[in-house]
Structure 1
Amino acid sequence: MNLHDWIDEVCDLLDIEAEADEALLADLAEVAVDNVHASAGPVTAFLLGVAAGGGETDPERIEAMAARVQALAEAWDRPAGAVDETDEDPEADELVDATAPDSVTEADEESLV
């Protein structure tokens, strides 16, 4: 199965009719990852999809939107992978805290011995 087949299957599964320019999305995602953040690629592609309006937008308009977003990513002033304390995600931190054990019980200590 190739990428185009995957896209067709996902569209069928989600019961949507959409065309995706795989090369456009891959290029945009790569620029976002390289210039913004490791997670910026899929998030940017998603946001472009939301802006496209579920396939009702013509391909030229989607390409123009992608070009504007790509220009923003290329001009981003922070190199990829740079840690920025404002990027902290309190919800993610809460999730990690919620899944971590609160304390080690005596039974846990005995099983470690």
Structure 2
Amino acid sequence: MDPIETTIPSFDGTKLYFVKNLVDNARAAVVIVHGLCEHAGRYDYLTENLNARGFNVYRFDHRGHARSEGPRTFYSNFHQIIDDVNVMVDQALQESTNIPVFVIGHSMG
């Protein structure tokens, strides 16, 4: 299935670039949280491999990174990162009611 690209408003209205790669009859869902100065596209290879093994994948660009809104790589409060991740995990949970949801974080993620 083709990736679904959109934006999702975070807790404070900042629009975060969001992409999901869904498969038929998913076994589980995975939220990928990238590191500082990275972007969701860096995880295309991992996404392909997870999809091939039956996992839906949810990815986003942190605020101030790549295609998301916000000052470039600036956080006025570290909790902004956590709150943004919570928005993405909540989205995955809402769409994955009958399957487990896992989070993969790299570096700052």
Query: TM-score normalized by structure 2?
Result: 0.29
Relative contact order (C-alpha < 8 Å, sep 6+): which is higher? 2
Query: TM-score normalized by structure 1?
Result: 0.28
